[in-house]
Structure 1
Amino acid sequence: MCHACVIDSVKHSMLSRRSFFTAASASAGAAVVAPLAMARPALAEVTHGGRVVDLTHAYDSAFPTFDGVPGITQEEAANFDKSGYQLYKLTIFEHTGTHIDAPLHFSRDGLSVDELEPSRLVCPLCIVDITAKAKDDPNATLEAEDIERFVSAHGEIPAGACVALRSGWAAKLGTPAFRNDAAGNFAFPGFAKSATDLLAERDVSAIGVDTLSLDPGNSADFAVHSSWLPSGRYGIEGLANLEALPATGATIVVGAPKHRGGTGGPARVLALV
């Protein structure tokens, strides 16, 4: 989600959280960034015959964006016939394509994308399927009760995990319905704050969606962005191929960009099964 007007409307209300997530280590004499205190999670092992599933959409200037502005453009900087090599100049907005939302996206001085702990970018992956709900309601939300049903069926969500919402929306990419309803209004599933509050209590590191935004399309207050990200956690928007994975047992690897001070950016996201 990258609507400039929305961000401007909320940024003044966000309090600094960096001090909450940065502690001084007296014994080491160094600052340690620790947004979440958690044990190292158990990760899937890719053994002989295992799979690597790409959860990333290829994207270009036609890929849907929240504000309708092309998220990436490219121009030729070097031509093979003339120079013996090829090179393009890219102009990229951070929140386009399959991308990561860092805490700084919705807080005044939260963690930037380059400050995220690498260990938090490799996580056990849990996928909560709400495709049935989304068929009846394009703005369907993953609620706390959906998390509770998932736990009853599949066991506890590991601390440090990434919990992804599967709505089936990735199949709509390339059609107007990925972004809008027939009246032109934003319409796509997302997380409800009841769910993300519960996941925060369970020390989940990240959430992900196969839609345009962590919040549903009809959200008026972006409650999930405004609570989840300032808490020091991150989100992933625009995931692909979630239907190719089991509900549990995979490990997600988030190839986040590392530009200094970034609020997020396009990421190559892989799942190991």
Structure 2
Amino acid sequence: MTRARMTPEPATVTEPPLWALHRKLIGMTVRTDLTHAFRPGQPHFPAFPDEKREMPFDMSRGDGFNVHRYTIVGQWGTHVDPPVHFVAGARPLDEIPVDEMILPLVVLDIAGRVAADPDAVPTLDDVAAWEARHGRIPQGSFVALRTGWSRRWPDPAAMANKDEAGLSHYPGWSAEVLRYLFEEAGVTAIGHEQTDTDPGLATSAGDFGLESYVLRRDRWQIELMANLDEVPEAGALIVATWPKPQGGSGFPARVFALHHEG
């Protein structure tokens, strides 16, 4: 007598809580990429060399796979600046914990003023207006400065916006707002659409005092962000990730936001 093989019924199990949370989160949010794709010839800090890209293995030449070799500076495209970028002995990239990479996202929007005046910077009135609408800026949050400048990407001349004297005119942060964010609100990190923390008139004079202030406070930042016009000024989460070079002083980052529609 041949005994029939019985296929066991799958066990009835409760969905793991984090899987259920993920399914719910994906179902109720939009994911917006805040990152520019980098490439040779893109806008960058003028003292840096351009990207060099080679293919030691190329399927079009008959190789079995494609491999690129990228030669870039760490501060390339949408990138992260850790404290060690300006402060000897400070935290490098591999010492920034993953706990700091998923944060509440606050967007300060001065794009309207920048459209009329490219040298515009945020003021404490902008912060007060944001807090009047949404409450105090959350401690431990990521604050992004929306200026509309990323619409100029990837045109290097438009990003630098130099006048006849060679001075750049682009927006940046202000000392009063950064002091409030770090010393009173207690934010973890900042980000912006333009090439630098400091406005163009300052960087044209070799003044990077605001970037130095941020990094000397053991905080980090993301530069050259994209698509901030597609996320709400309050209520979103930001995820900022990058490779983990030991002792690294900067690297291209992949940054995105999770938020509700509208």
Instruction: State percent identity of aligned pairs.
Output: 35
Residue pairs, 1:68-107, within 5 angstroms: 69-80=48-59, 81-107=61-87
Letter in 1 for 2:134: H
Q: Distance in 1 between matches of 2:93 and 2:72?
A: 15
Q: 1:260 aligns with which of 236, 241, 246?
A: 246
Q: Distance in 2 between matches of 1:122 and 1:178?
A: 29
CA displacement at 1:132 relative to structure 2: 1.6
Which protein is bigger by CA-based radius of gyration?
2
Q: What whole-Å deviation, never above 9, does each CA across 1:168-206 have from its counterpart, x for those lacking one?
A: 001111332211234242221111111111001211001
Q: Distance in 1 between matches of 2:63 and 2:47?
A: 35
Q: Distance in 2 between matches of 1:256 and 1:148?
A: 32
Contact 2:82 2:250 survives alignment (8 Å):
yes
Q: Distance in 2 between matches of 1:182 and 1:62?
A: 21
Q: 1:163 aligns with which of 137, 140, 143?
A: 143
Residue pairs, 1:31-46, within 5 angstroms: 46=25
Q: Distance in 2 between matches of 1:96 and 1:186?
A: 19
Q: Distance in 1 between matches of 2:128 and 2:208?
A: 23
Report the number of matched residues.
229
Structure 1 equivalent of residue 7 of structure 2:
none
SS at match of 1:218: helix
Contact 1:128 1:146 survives alignment (8 Å):
yes
Q: What whole-Å deviation, never above 9, does each CA across 1:118-170 have from its counterpart, x for those lacking one?
A: 11111100001001221222121122332122111221111110000000001
- Answer yes or no: is 1:180 the counterpart of 2:165: no
Q: Mind listing any 5+ residue stretches in structure 2 that lack a counterpart?
A: 1-23
SS at match of 1:141: coil
Structure 1 equivalent of residue 9 of structure 2:
none
Contact 1:62 1:70 survives alignment (8 Å):
no
Residue pairs, 1:83-162, within 5 angstroms: 83-162=63-142
Q: Distance in 2 between matches of 1:77 and 1:248?
A: 46
Contact 1:188 1:212 survives alignment (8 Å):
no
Q: 1:60 to 1:68 in 2, by over 3 A?
A: farther
Residue pairs, 1:41-56, within 5 angstroms: 46-56=25-35
Structure 2 equivalent of residue 224 of structure 1:
210
Contact 2:48 2:73 survives alignment (8 Å):
no
Q: Distance in 1 between matches of 2:79 and 2:138?
A: 23
CA displacement at 1:255 relative to structure 2: 1.0
Q: Distance in 2 between matches of 1:46 and 1:156?
A: 25
Q: 2:194 aligns with which of 203, 211, 219?
A: 211
Structure 2 equivalent of residue 39 of structure 1:
none
Structure 2 equivalent of residue 11 of structure 1:
none
Residue pairs, 1:58-77, within 5 angstroms: 58-67=37-46, 69-77=48-56
Q: Distance in 2 between matches of 1:157 and 1:101?
A: 22
CA displacement at 1:72 relative to structure 2: 2.2
- What is the root-mean-square deviation of aligned Cα atoms in Å? 1.5
Q: Distance in 1 between matches of 2:198 and 2:234?
A: 23
The TM-score with structure 2 as length reference comes to 0.83
Q: Distance in 2 between matches of 1:60 and 1:103?
A: 25
Structure 2 equivalent of residue 249 of structure 1:
235
- Answer yes or no: is 1:189 the counterpart of 2:175: no
